[in-house]
Structure 1
Amino acid sequence: MSVPTDNDDQPVTVIVPAAVPKTVGSRPSRPPGVTLRLATIVVLCLMLLVLVGVVVVLPDLVAKRVTEEQKPAAVIPLETSPPPPSADTQRVAREKREAENKLGIVLRKQTEREAEGVAIWGGQDYDAALDSLAAGDAQLQAGRYAQAARDYEKVSGQLDALRASMPRRLVSALQAGEAALQAGDGPAARQSFNVALAIDPAHQGGQKGMLRARVLEEVLALIAAGAEHESRDQLDAALNKYASAVSLDARSPEARAANEAVGARIRQREFHAAMSVALTALETDDFADSRAALTRADGIRPGTPEVADTRRRLQLAVQRSRIRVHGDEARVLERNERWQEASEHYAAVLGIDSKAAFAQVGRARSLARARIHAELDAYLAELARLNAPGPRNNARRLLDAAAGLDAETEPKLAAKVGRLTDALEIAQTPIRVRLQSDNLTDVAVYKVGRFGRFARHDLLLPPGSYVAVGSRSGYRDVRVEFTLSAGQEPGDVFVRCQEKI
């Protein structure tokens, strides 16, 4: 026969002595009474063994998480069936099994929370759960299974509550870390961000906060060094320290504020220096340097009234300077009697300031003189035009217009007037010309007169172009063109009709 033990799931075999067959030479059998008493003792021992197995071994076998636990216990073929377990024994076994099941659930949840870093962020709540777990274990070891199950149920709830509190704890840890950073407490900030990253290792805010916390002491030292330089008015050195602090922690409000403040002071200093250069250059008419300095100042502080006002002053100064330069150049050109070029400079002045009176008067004067010079040059370049009455009359009017000019101030114009006057006198002096014919041809000169038949006839004619015409009965008319030029001796003009019709 076999009965369950508390060592494993396999039954333990109990050996019951069997009847030994008689052999030759064996001892004589015992009396019947002795044999009956012996059998009775054996049966009582067997029943005692069965009772012990039910009370001690059976509850452990029931607690196993296998299918065989749900099956009824195997019937041990005994010569005599043991009595069924009592109700208390079954209750104890059930309570123990329930406590152990809850313990398994608790251990699984504990493993999950440990993997989630509960040892870092759980704090007192996790300590309380561990205390409850220890209390449950103590109850289990003492055999108080129902109390142990209740303790394990409490632990399970505490672990679930810890899991549910993770988002809240994350927010709280991040806020505490930021507060510690603001207070300049590096260790506290690192501790808070360590809790946040234990809850969510991939959280960007936590990662950035931890980076800031790790360099906080260095950032504060750089800020302090920058403040020391700033107190000594060593602004460039201070800016270098503040910039280094910002490069370590771009989100540090202290570093950023200090960096911006000293940067503003440096820009203000550079702005005033640039404006000083611009104004000084403006006073000395160094417009290029003034403009460049204003550009620097506007780049430092864009849109300031100081730069705008100085630019207006610069523009006016440049205009006055250009007007002065053009006016001076025009007057020099007038003295050299280069009237057309002078008029162009006066026009440039009017392009800058259309109300400049001196430029209006000067341009009108220059254009008038330029026209006189142009007309004089045209006659002098082609004096033959004076041979015609129309051009001679225009030349006389031109000389009348130039008559009031001062020869001392305008020697070039006076020379041209003199040359044209002389040419006009010559052009107005009659020239002797001889007409020759054959006493048979009637001769006439257009716009001069008819002279009849002659062999030779002299005329005094002003310079110009003429046409002599000859006619004779029975002969074809002839036409002879001739020109009398001032200062030149003309040749004889022959007018004869010689071709018969």
Structure 2
Amino acid sequence: MTEQYQRVQPTPFDAPESTPAAASTAPEARPPWLLPAFGGLAVLALVVIFVLPAWVESRGTNVDPAAREAASGSTPAAASDRAPSPQEAALADGNAASPFADARAAKARAEAQDLLAELLDVQENLKERGAEEWAADAMTGIAEEALAGDELYRERAFDEAITRYQDALTAALALEQSLPQRFEAQITSAREAIETFDKDAAATALDLAEKLKPGAPETASLRKRFEVLPSVTEDYTAASDAEATGDLDSAVTRMESAATNDSAHERVASELNRLRAALTEQRFNTAMSEGYAALDEADFETAQGRFERAGKLYPGSSEAAAALQELSSARTAATLQRLQNRSNSLLADEDWNAAIKVFEEALAIDQSLRFAREGLLVARPRAQAEKELTAIVEKPERLVDDAILREAQNAVTRARSLDDRGPRLSAQIEAAQDVLAVASTPLPVTLRSDGLTEVTVYKVARLGLFNQEQLKLRPGQYTAVGSRRGYRDARVVFTVAPGNLSEVYVACTEAI
């Protein structure tokens, strides 16, 4: 018996001597709450003696029937050999009928029932997880402990029953806690069985895994692999047979089919990699042989295709690289003169952009070609000069901006510094110079207003209020803006050009 259930010992006390006066006045001095208190105690005693045992027994109806039947088969002699429980000792001392003893027994009984209820839940969960298959001895031991607890419970030895129930529960919980590890073990077994094409072993492991952890995604994934295992096995066998006859294409095809059906099959994946490597080597040798045959016949396109195919089959292959280098040398000897002649013709025609393309094509074959490198040094600056000079002539209105005008003047200077300009480039320089001469010469422009409008010419000046103003502006397009309090702004875009010297009127006339 635990310390909290030690027997309560009465404390001795000296009763006061009664006096005749006290005895004669006792009926009148009785407190008014005494009778209700005795009545409440009587009701509480009835509840403890009659109602509480019935309620506890009703909770006990959830106990495993098999356990109760097995426990009921125990003999009274077994109980007689056991030391009396604290509850039995209380009965022997004559205190079992007291409300305190009954309440204490009821508490112990409730604790035993709570443990048993939890044990039954865990037992049921273990049965559903197939524990009777993978832990038969442990489950038997748990049941025996529970039956022993039942016997003690019937004998009202609740503390001993609690101990047995707790031992059984501890063992059951240990099994329950091992479920994740056991599940992982079955998943591993199922995976290994699938890898070795052992359908029966895989089925057994998957069934047990489903019991251990119903609805687990790992099991579902392996179940899908298990369902296609027959077709995977068939493809694997066919691939092995094809390889044995030297038909690597068919072997790879069948092994790819197996891998498609089960992409997670490691053995299939490994064999597929090996077969693909063997097939790649075979195709590489064929491509190299065909490439050299084409090179001997000066069929450079075909030779390049075969050597490049070989290089793709084995990236970084020294054999393919050497073959391509040999091809490059042969092709260069055949095409270099043609490209050089073409570039010379284009330079003579001052077709700089076309010449650049030819030089770049030659350098794509051989980066060390001297004529192509030197040709680019000639063609590129002239192509750039042509582009800049053309922009000056075609878009003279942009020259109204001082920065653009300065850049245009610099472009003409750079173009004039080029040697061997040729007639075409010289004509372009002269045309650009003429445009710059016009763009650099300011022209008189008359602006008129109403004297009430603030006028500003963008990028030129803020003119303020005036009736007439004379400006000198370089040719180009300008914007004048007028503003006046209480009126909508006026905006006038005008162009300054030789022969176009009309007046510009800017005034705000639309009231807001």
TM-score (norm. length: structure 2): 0.43
Write 1 or 2 for the structure with the bigger share of helix. 2
TM-score (norm. length: structure 1): 0.44
